[in-house]
Amino acid sequence: MQARLWLLLAAQLAALHGSLALVQTPASLMVQTNQTVMLSCKINTSPSNTRIYWLRLRQALSTSSHYEFLAYWESTKKTVHSKEVDKEKLTVLGNSPQNVLKLQSVKPADSGVYFCMIIGMPNLIFGTGTQLSVVDVLPTSPQPTQKTSPKKKVCRSPNPVTRKRLSCAPLITGLLVAGVLILLVSLGVAIHLRCLQMRARLRLLKHLRLYILENFSRLDY
């Protein structure tokens, strides 16, 4: 009962954000179908007895994105799975500060971004994430081709008569304007993706609250 009360309080106070307190390796991974995958999560700042949860984000960030709870590790029960997870396929090994998610016989449907998470006070702290791609055939590396070095353009000094007519200023100005536009577009895309990620994490927090409240209502009966 005390553990559930603590979890409810933590969920009510939680403000979702990413943190380097949880470092995941590798950052990305591509494997063939039916391979075994090991994803690692290490806690850098929290107490060593912190429970680590594993989540998955299947699709690219959008307004309908949501996190799927997969499992967590407990010293008495070992791996505690979600109801929707195949227990024979997924295992959590070890406890904090080092935690490993083991996936066996992976399929393309297992592709997605895998996150580890801890419940802090007052934040839900997410790991850096691991992008897992499962394919039937690994892409082959293209054969290196011999590149021909382009001829360097030589800027010849104009003669005194035409020197006043020629200037590099318009070219430099154009390059600067193009660079500023690219930076603005990149910033806009980054802000949009961050907003989508925050919406997905807020939906996770809402589902967590509903799950806890349902458990309390069952205990009352």
The whole-angstrom separation of Cα 57 and Cα 61 is 8
Please indicate whether residue 175 or residue 12 has the higher confidence score (pLDDT): 175
Please indicate whether residue 59 or residue 186 has the higher confidence score (pLDDT): 186
Residue closest to 117 by CA, chosen among 61, 50, 59: 50
Please indicate whether residue 169 or residue 217 has the higher confidence score (pLDDT): 169
The answer to pTM > 0.75 is no
Of 19-28, 58-67, 78-87, 181-190, the least confident: 58-67
- Rg of the chain (C-alpha set): 25
Residue closest to 125 by CA, chosen among 25, 211, 198, 20: 20
Q: Average pLDDT, whole number, for the chain?
A: 78
Q: How confident is the model at residue 103 (pLDDT cuts 50, 70, 90)?
A: very high
The whole-angstrom separation of Cα 10 and Cα 120 is 7
Please indicate whether residue 35 or residue 221 has the higher confidence score (pLDDT): 35
The whole-angstrom separation of Cα 93 and Cα 38 is 10
